[in-house]
Amino acid sequence: MTLSEIRRQAIAPALALLPARMSERLPQVEALLLATHLQESPNREQCQLPARPGKCGPARGIWQFERGGGVAGVLRHPASRPHVFTVCAKLGVVPTLDGIFDALPTQCDVLDAALARLLYWTDPKPLPALGDADAALQSYLHNWRPGAYTNGNAAKRAELSRKWHANYAKALAEVRA
């Protein structure tokens, strides 16, 4: 699936389920969501590090949400919680940790995109300016808290930063096309 298809088939329908104010500054929203997707699941893997064939690892969906991390975060945060319930009702997903987590690898990517937007929505800092890859990286690190960055050494952090900048450039090109 191309980035254009992800925008049309996941991000746009997800944003349509959320309040219009979450689509303000749409190019910034889309660039951040696309870059995050590329960082987390560039090949659209629905399961992170499968423990064995047919079993998902700790993160699910193309934005790679963990049950006790991002799913719990958007379900519990007062800025996102009511919107999670609305999205789940519209998509027929049980709005619990298990209900959402279990739905991620099998549901359409709309649920995943909505959760990704909601996770960034919980951040009190404004969205990074379009084209500001460094600020976008800081937003991603703050909200996704990737273990490979947090627990990695300087070389690993530099590698993930380079990967982010390449992914953000791809996302930016898509949004500006």
| Residues 14-33 pLDDT 10s | 999 999 999 999 999 999 99
pLDDT digits (tens, 9 = 90+) for 47-104: 566 556 666 667 788 898 888 999 999 999 999 999 999 999 999 999 999 999 989 8
Q: Which residues contact 54 (CB under 8 A, 6 or more apart)?
A: none
pLDDT > 70: percent of the chain = 90
Task: Give the span between the Cα atoms of 7 and 10, in whole angstroms.
Answer: 6
Cα radius of gyration (the chain): 15
pTM comes to: 0.91
Q: CB-based burial of residue 6 (10 Å sphere; 0-12 exposed, 13-18 middle, 19+ buried)?
A: buried
pLDDT digits (tens, 9 = 90+) for 78-93: 999 999 999 999 999 9
Residue 66: which H helix or E strand, with range?
Answer: strand 65-66
- Please give the structure tokens belonging to residue 119: 């996770």
